[in-house]
Structure 1
Amino acid sequence: MNVIKIIHKHKPNFCGFISIFSLLIPSCLGADTITGNGYLSGDKTIISATGLFELGFYKPGNTSNYYIAIWYKKIPGKTVIWVANRDKPVSDKRTSKLRISSDGNLVLVNNESKSPIWSTNLEYNTAKPVEAVLLDDGNLVLRTGSNSSAPLWQSFEHPTDTLMPDGKLGFNRVTNLSQVLTSWKNLEDPGTGLFTVKRDPKASQFIMLWNKSEQYWTSGLWIPDQQIFSLVPELRFLKTQLYSFSYVDNETESYITYSVNNPSIVTRGCARKTMLSCEGGKSGDKFLATPSRILPEHPQFVSVANVGECESVCLRNCSCTAYAYDDNGCFIWFVELLNMRQLSDNSGKTLHIRLAASDVETSSNKILVIGILAGLGMGLVALSALAYVAYWRQKRRLFIAGKTMEHSLTPFKYRDLQSATKNFSQKLGGGGFGSVFKGTLPDSTVIAAKKLEGINHIQGEKQFRAEVSAIGTIQHVNLVRLRGFCSEGSKKLLVYEYMPNGSLNTHLFNKGGNIEILSWRVRYQIAVGTARGLAYLHEACRDCIIHCDIKPENILLDAEFCPKVADFGLAKLVGREFSRVLTTIRGTRGYLAPEWISGDAITAKADVYSYGMMLFELVSGRRNIQLASEGRLDFFPTSAMGKLTEGEDVLTILDPRLKGDAGKDEVMRICKLACWCIQDEESHRPSMGQVVQLLEGFLDINMPLMPRSLQMFAGNIDSPMFFSEYSSSQHTTETTSYASTTSANKEPSTYVSATSQSQE
């Protein structure tokens, strides 16, 4: 999970600790200072004057990596506020040292490295001795002496994922130095994650970006008269005796900062007071009704008759954390309660939060919130949340801030979509179940409306229900977002977010014209993003969702070429209590896994096979099956595996339009991965979660054996398994026995040669 934290301080009355601790510190290493030949190594630390903050080597969770970090000394569990070498951990804290270098920089070195692992990277000339001191506000400062008026370097100007009081978030127009917050990769890896909060360089607002490209959230523009950002009205609550908030925007700087006026108050977010009791499927828990809420993200829809049944469904499942019931039906949550907002008026909906019975009984005057909000912290909104928390604690209430999002699908009228699409005049594409048209809603939102035409009414209705149930209530950055639907008799439409760069197949297979050639960097990004979307479907949803039709036509690209898995009309939902499901053959020939053809029950590994076939096309920029120059049909995966096995240059199989402009290691990695994904035995294929790790370099990969099916069918391209023409009306035709070939390739194999790699 990605975390962006914003924390405030307090200064307790704390005496006597420094004198005791100083006995453990060598000369040239003061209680809060590194000077001269002093250094930090092993378990040595420095502590701020009042004992509030500590700096030293930090090892997160069960990992073997060490980082130089600052954390709250008196809060259990080392609540980290800053990390120096977040992307370059060290493996041995005893042979690593944080010290002052000969040129006056603060550096992290170890015995093996010839150059610093991390450095303050300052260039200056000074004859004065330099010292590094940890201040009482958590700021690590590099200066020329205790009386120095201006520090040479300070951690507050280089925040990682935490904005401290009196720190700045913004940029300096003179020095071109920016302060941004970037999430951790996960709870055990403080490396730079995917979410970043920064000042928008084009407008007076703050934005959150995903992957440094896609805008995920915005504060809205600054309103000087009201002293708030338009989409964060909660900032008005910072005008209290507890907090001071300011936004500075002048010729030299543009930033936000805040301070704590009452040092006796400390916030650390929310925590569950009493753990839930759920043994043997029986629970003594109860629900606390919290009205006037913007509901959290990622709800799951459940078909029930009344609110009592909705509560019972949640209570019977030990993983259910909350439920809500209204005219739209029953929604329950099996994940963290992310991005809730309590409204000041009586609007919004009532969320029933699961708590231990004892906590519900003692909560008549206050709201207890489940402490699992460590997911996507919303930069500035988290800042306003802290202020609002302290403000409402005086009134025995808790406020949770977050991004306003629409959590239920919008029901559209047919005539409204007819108007939005100009009577369905601009066709974007089509398939076996209908055509897709571009449209614009009255609020200028551009949409893609899928008009179901279908084989027959029953088939179309089934496809409609499948798609709505599959993605109607899930959201992921790599899954196309379903915004709404229309169901008026035989008129069935699905309304999606619009993808301006169309589908992947257009860029891979359409030669010439104005089609942009995808660079290798973009192709690799598409491979990773698609894998993340599928991993979410397979492993993170309440039910495992098998897409069943992965191919370039069903991978859509947004304005930044971020991939979105689309077209869930053939998707199959598999309950977590089942390992596989028997279903009629579905998908597109040329991407079908062997188990489809043999009629065996399938698992999510069927999607892995299709994904592998798509990877070959992503590399080559051509269909896997095409007519060769001598008149025969050429099956690319077979020829590619043959060349790789024989040791040919991997760039010879790359799309010639790239002219070899790609990293050999990445091309080899993605080709080996594709070969593993299309193995005959599904147990030999990696899961999509492992695919993501392989692509991100956390696992290494070997070259597998040639699947027996590729050898057998290389000269028999007319087989229904490899026939590549798309026709949804033929999904259930021509099943062929495949048992003899799927059982033939039983050699023990492994695709992982190393369980982890250093991010260094």
Structure 2
Amino acid sequence: MSPPPFAVVVSGANFRLPLPTPPRSCPARPPDVSHLGGQAEKEFKVEVGAIGRVRHKNLVRLLGYCVEGAHRMLVYEYVDNGNLDQWLHGDVGEVSPLTWDIRMNILLGTAKGLVYLHEGLEPKVVHRDVKSSNILLDAQWNAKVSDFGLAKLICSEKTYVTTRVMGTFGYVAPEYASTGMLNEKSDIYSFGVLIMEIISGRAPVDNTRTPREVSLVEWLRTLVRDRKFEQVIDPKMAEKPSPKALKRALLVALQCVDPDAQRRPKMGHVIHMLEVEDLSFREERKLGREPAGKSDRYNPREEANFGK
């Protein structure tokens, strides 16, 4: 049996290459970047070192890196079912294999990976490029967040300000795009767009549509305001969700993309809202503005898989 491959990511591009040694021979410790020097190299060293220590079943594992001149390359484990973007927007036929339950499982897995970055690490990690093409899927449709090439380490309760805005158009939070202010709420906005995308099957920005439908966020807001909930469902989804499940998911999405970053829920709270099924719509709206109790909050440290 040939050894499994690993994935190489270079400037956002993915390449599949053969793994020269069995996975068990890979070091358990994070990549050694102690030989790097200079300010840019020091930042790269800190961030690669931190990401290299991440162990969670919903995060693609960083196996190593390569530095040559001005070039930087990250080497991740390979996940064999492609990415979410391919299954949402690629040629999958008239009926998508992504059922409502599979889509919700993908969202929950993605959220659990992100809450570990935001709340399970110190310093916390802001991904900065949450989007469907960076959500890899294994054979059981479990999500693994990938591509930490733009990730930023931020100390708790602080906001990082940058003059160079990174990310993907359509997913970037408005306050980050306009001011360069970055914290975990930027990822939460992107996750809200991802929820809308996975429910509707539409891209965040589609210039082939009418002006009112170009922006997924604005189009969906309008339909929800007009209570045309079923019109947002991906037509390739064979079995439609229950009205209650659909409304709950749409509510969470809209809270995540709130123009006021301070009003967006934390990712652990998002998980709670997506998982709880026995709440009325009014109770869910209340949940969106009040932190969940300690007994029902998602604990990212409990979910982390350090041994695998």
Q: TM-score range by the shorter chain?
A: 0.7 to 0.9
User: In the TM superposition, what is the alpha-carbon distance from 1:670 to its structure 2 partner?
Assistant: 1.1
Query: How much has 1:460 moved relative to structure 2?
Result: 9.2
Residue aligning to 1:682: 261
Q: Deviations over 1:245-289 (max 9, x none)?
A: xxxxxxxxxxxxxxxxxxxxxxxxxxxxxxxxxxxxxxxxxxxxx
Alignment of 1:236-635 (within 5 A): 433-443=11-21, 465=45, 468-487=48-67, 492-512=72-92, 517-576=97-156, 578-583=157-162, 584-599=164-179, 601-627=181-207, 634-635=214-215
1:751 is the counterpart of 2:308: no
Cα pair distance change 1:445/1:641, threshold 3 Å = same
Q: Secondary structure at the match of 2:74?
A: strand
Q: Which has the higher strand share?
A: 1
Tell me: CA distance 1:700–1:687, structure 2 relative to 1, closer, same or farther (3 Å). Answer: farther
Q: Secondary structure at the match of 1:637?
A: helix
Task: Confirm whether residue 637 of structure 1 aligns to residue 174 of structure 2.
Answer: no
Q: How far apart, CA to CA, are the structure 2 residues paired with 1:466 and 1:633?
A: 42
AA aligned to 1:670 is A
Aligned residues of 1:676 and 1:704 also touching (Cα < 8 A): no
Aligned partners of 2:153, 2:252: CA distance in 1, in Å?
26
How much does 1:430 deviate? 6.8
Residues 754, 652 of structure 1: CA spacing in aligned structure 2 closer, same or farther, 3 A cutoff? farther
After superposition, the C-alpha distances for 1:377-400 in whole angstroms (9 at most, x for unaligned) are xxxxxxxxxxxxxxxxxxxxxxxx
Aligned mates of 2:40, 2:18 — CA distance in 1: 25
Match of 1:274 in 2: none
Match of 1:661 in 2: 240
Q: Is the 1:534–1:688 contact (alpha carbons within 8 Å) kept by the matching residues of 2?
A: yes
C-alpha contact 1:485 1:493 (8 A) present in aligned 2: yes
Gap runs ≥5 in structure 1: 1-419, 447-457, 706-748
1:693 equivalenced with 2:230 (yes/no): no
Return the alpha-carbon distance in structure 2 between the equivalents of residues 690 and 579 of structure 1.
19
The one-letter amino acid paired with 2:60 is V
Shift of 1:560: 1.4
Distance 1:701 1:687 in 2: 19
Question: Aligned residue for 1:223?
Answer: none
Alpha carbons 2:9, 2:73 under 8 Å: kept: no
Q: Check 1:550–1:434 CA distance in 2 against 1; reply closer, same or farther (3 A cut).
A: closer
Residue 753 of structure 1 deviates from its aligned partner by 7.8
Q: 1:466·1:569 contact (CA, 8 Å) conserved in 2?
A: no
Give the 3 Å change call, closer, same or farther, for CA 436–624 of structure 1 in structure 2.
Answer: closer
Partner Cα separation in structure 2 for residue 629 and residue 701 of structure 1: 31
| Offset at residue 563 of structure 1 (A) | 0.7
CA distance in 2, matches of 1:618, 1:667: 12
Deviations 1:141-167 (A, max 9, x none): xxxxxxxxxxxxxxxxxxxxxxxxxxx
| 1:154-165 correspondence to structure 2 within 5 Å | none
Does structure 2 conserve the Cα–Cα contact (< 8 Å) formed by 1:701 and 1:753? no
Q: Is the 8 A contact 2:96 2:237 kept in 1?
A: no
Cα contact 2:79–2:138 (8 A) shared by 1: yes
TM-score (norm 2): 0.77
Q: What is the total number of aligned residue pairs between the two structures?
A: 278
Identical columns (%): 35
Per the TM alignment, residue 663 of structure 1 is displaced from its structure 2 partner at its CA by 2.9
How many Å separate the matches in 2 of 1:485 and 1:553?
21
CA distance in 2, matches of 1:598, 1:651: 33
Alpha-carbon shift at residue 615 of structure 1 (Å): 0.9
Confirm or deny: 8 A CA contact 1:672 1:703 kept in the other structure.
no
Which structure ranks higher in relative contact order (CA pairs < 8 Å, sequence separation ≥ 6)? 2
Report how far residue 624 of structure 1 moved.
2.5
- Indicate the SS of the match to 2:181: coil
Counterpart CA distance in 2 for 1:631 and 1:681 is 24
